[in-house]
Every structure is written in structure tokens, then in C-alpha cells.
Amino acid sequence: MFKYEKMLEYPINVKKKDLKMAKLLCAQFGGPDGELGAALRYLSQRFTMPDERGKALLTDIGCEELGHVEMINTMIYGLIKNATVDELKSAGLDSYYTQHNKGIYPVDANGVPFTSAYIASTGNPIVDLQEDLAAEEKARATYENLMDLTTDESLLAPLSFLRQREIVHYNRFKELLDYYKRR
């Protein structure tokens, strides 16, 4: 089962309204390499991991990814909270506003809704772990792109943290994959 802890993994204090960045950050919520897909990917794949190390690692990283979804959503929420309709329009969020107002909904940076087609769960641990390595690297690259697009330190600090987590996860998945290959 899952339990909720009433805190973020890393503190977020959005300093100012920024609708463009809110739109772009959606990539890491409902995009193909985003945190929601990551959580679903690992929490689904874990059922067919062949030993206790794999079951533990995919569960633990999958749970951490849910915490990352919460961080991204907190940023998006804070960035659009006080926006006017005119401001949303000029940031290209008028179509988003039509369907979701300021609600948090999983889409990518272009407004394309999240789909489970972004993830794989093949039942084969070697194949799944190879997918996970790629997913972590794609998410890392996306964070770097996002970091290039803002100078706001109240966003850069959590983005830098989240990017680093992709690197750690990559390495742990790699260790698990190498271990399975040796066996």
C-alpha cells in the first residue's frame, strides 16, 4: 500500500508568475519522458522483476518518481496561480484554459495528453531495465533543456536536483542490469 507524507522531497518556493515556464514544465509531468510516466513505468515493471533486489529497486525508485510528479505539479501550480486570462492567452495557454482552467492535468509541453504508450512493460527484466536506462537519460536531457530556458533560481534549484536524481537512478538501474547479466 502507499502512504502520504505531507512534505515535498525538495522544497519549492516559486518566486514569480511565469506562464511560459509553466507550459514547458508540463513536459516533465505528462510528457513522454516525464515523471508520471516514470512512476507508472517502474511501479508496473516491478511485478516481473526476478529477485528481491529488482523488486526493491523498482518499487523504491517508482515511489520517488511519484514525489517528483508532486514537485513538478507544485511548480506549475505556483507559476500559473495568479495569472489573468489575458496572460494565459499570450503564453499560449488559452487552449489549456478552455479544457482545464488552472487545473493540473497531465499533458506535455505542447498540450498533448499523457498516454501509457509512453511506457513499456515487457515482462522481461533485461528488456525493461534497458528501457529504464533510456528513460532516465531522456529525462535528464529534458531537465537540461528546461534549465537552459530559465534564469529563475527558484525553478533552477529544484530542476537541478531532479536532473541529478535521473543520474543516480540511471546508475542504480545499470548496476541491477549488470548484476542480472552476470548471473
Partner 1 sequence: MLFDEDNIYFDDYKNINIENVNINRSKTLYSYEEGFNKGNLFKDLYSKYKNHVYKLNVSNDKDKLLLDIQTHTFALKDLNLYLDTHPEDQSILEEFNKIKNKLDDLKNKYENKYGPLCLNSVNSNKDFTWINNPWPWDIRR
Instruction: Verify binding: residue 147, partner 1, rule CB under 8 A.
Output: yes
Instruction: Verify binding: residue 145, partner 1, rule CB under 8 A.
Output: no
Binding mask 162-181 for partner 1 (x = CB under 8 A): xxxx-xxxxxx-xxx--x--
Minimum distance of partner 1 from residue 160's CB (angstroms): 5
Q: What is the DSSP code string of 129-174?
A: HHHHHHHHHHHHHHHHHHHHT---HHHHHHHHHHHHHHHHHHHHHH
Binding mask 18-57 for partner 1 (x = CB under 8 A): -----------------------------------x--xx
Distance from C-alpha of 174 to C-alpha of 164, rounded to nearest angstrom:
15
User: DSSP character for 16?
Assistant: S
Q: Choose the stretch contacting partner 1; rule: CB under 8 A; options: 37-45, 92-100, 107-115, 153-161.
A: 153-161
Contact 36, 44 (CB under 8 A): no
Distance from C-alpha of 98 to C-alpha of 157, rounded to nearest angstrom:
31
Minimum distance of partner 1 from residue 7's CB (angstroms): 6
Q: Choose the stretch contacting partner 1; rule: CB under 8 A; options: 18-26, 27-35, 76-84, 95-103.
A: 76-84
Contact 58, 45 (CB under 8 A): yes
* Total number of residues that touch partner 1 (CB under 8 A): 45
CA angle centred on 86, ends 80 and 88, rounded to 5°: 35
Q: Which residues bind partner 1 (CB under 8 A)?
A: 3-11, 13-14, 53, 56-57, 60-61, 64, 70, 73-74, 77-78, 81, 143-144, 147, 153, 156-157, 160-165, 167-172, 174-176, 179
